[in-house]
Structures are given as structure tokens and as C-alpha cells.
Amino acid sequence: MEATVTRYHHGDLRAALVEASFEVLAECGLQRFSVAAVARRIGVSTAAPYRHFPDRAHLLSAVSAAAARDLRTAIEAVVFETEEPGARMAAVAGAYVRYVGRTGAGMSVIFAAELYEVADDARRSETRALMTTLLDLASAAAGYPAATRLLEATLAVAHGYVSLFAEGFFALKDRPLDEIADRATEAALTLVD
């Protein structure tokens, strides 16, 4: 992983750290994510991030809040292209694949177990808003109580496709991310039907 020294120029270090965190997550995943790698990415000392975040979990909490907000925005941008509730719910899978494929920040980052003990109202608010949106879409498609099962299945399909994409499963056929997202949407549509 190469550092990009020219990206940060004594501006908003906190925002630069969060932005660079997405790049590091997309390259190496949550397990190999480190504050030091983020610092190197933007060309600051490995001690500099600790002026804004006391530890890895607090940096990830800020990333989680941004990811939940941005994922919700990405989902809302595509689901309302159709009136049919089932198609809207299926579109969640495609939006998830596209977002996570670009950023590396899916549900495993948004709801990372290490964040449970971090008191962060912004993260809690954003994750709650994301889940409310998802549950509303699932309820419209399947009704209550089937909505939670539909939501679980849709996210499992989407997460599975993006994981296979990230792990190179589709590399032999050189499939673009958008095609994989469309496949996830098609698979999720079968869950609704």
C-alpha cells in the first residue's frame, strides 16, 4: 500500500483521516485496517491521528457513521426509481454491492463489534437511520413480521456478492462491479418473489 503524501495540506485532518480510512478499508479490509496505514496514506506522522481519535475504534466509529449515512443515501438514490416495493427492496442489494465495492465499508464496518463500547451519538444516529430505511423498505415489500427475514436475506445476498467480488471470485471473467451489483439485485428479487 503506497502513501499518498500530497493529499493532506494542513486542512481538516479529521476529515482527511476519515476519507483515507475508506481507501485503506477498500484495499485491505477491516481486519488489516490500521491507524498507521491511514496516517501513511495522507502523509502525516503515525501519531497525528491520535490528536483527533484516541484509538482505532474511535476512528472506525467516525468511518462507521459516514458509511451508514452514505450507504443510506446510495440506497435511497436507487430504490425510488421504481414504485414496486419488491423491486425497491431488491435494489438495496445492488446499491449495497456498488457502495461496498467502492469503499470497503459494509455492514461489517458499520456494525463492527469493536464499536459497541464506543460512545458515539453520531454513529448511533446514522446507523439507526440506515436500519430504519432498510426496515421500512422490507416492511413495504413483505409486511411485518416477515420484513426482518427479508432484510437479513437481502443483506446476506448483497454481502455475499460483494465478498466474492472483493476476493477475486469474478476476476477470471473480468466482471465489472456494476454487473456484479446487477446480479445481486436479480438474486435479491427472487427472495421477494
Q: Say yes or no to pLDDT of 1 above 90.
A: no
CATH architecture of 63-192: Orthogonal Bundle (1.10)
Q: Which residues contact 98 (CB under 8 A, 6 or more apart)?
A: 74, 177, 178, 181
Average pLDDT over residues 95-117: 93
Say what the pLDDT of residue 8 is: 53
**Which residue's C-alpha cell is 419488491?**
86
Of 51, 108, 113, 106, the C-alpha closest to 75 is 106
- pLDDT of 115-167, one tens digit each? 999 999 999 999 999 999 999 999 999 988 899 999 999 999 999 999 998 88
Predicted local distance difference test score (pLDDT) of residue 5: 41
Domain 1-53 sits in which CATH superfamily?
Answer: Homeodomain-like (1.10.10.60)
Average pLDDT over residues 106-118: 93
pLDDT one-digit tens code per residue, 35-62:
999 999 999 999 999 999 999 999 999 9
Domains 1-53 and 63-192 share a fold: no
Please report, as a single letter, which amino acid is at residue 160.
G
The pLDDT value recorded for residue 173 is 57
pLDDT at 183 over 60: yes
Residue with C-alpha cell 465478498? 163
**Backbone phi and psi for residue 3, each to the nearest 5 degrees, phi listed first:** -80, 145
Q: Domain map of the chain by residue range? A: 1-53, 63-192
> What are the tens digits of pLDDT across the range 85-102?
999 999 999 999 999 999
| Angle at which helices 56-79 and 13-28 cross, to 10° | 80
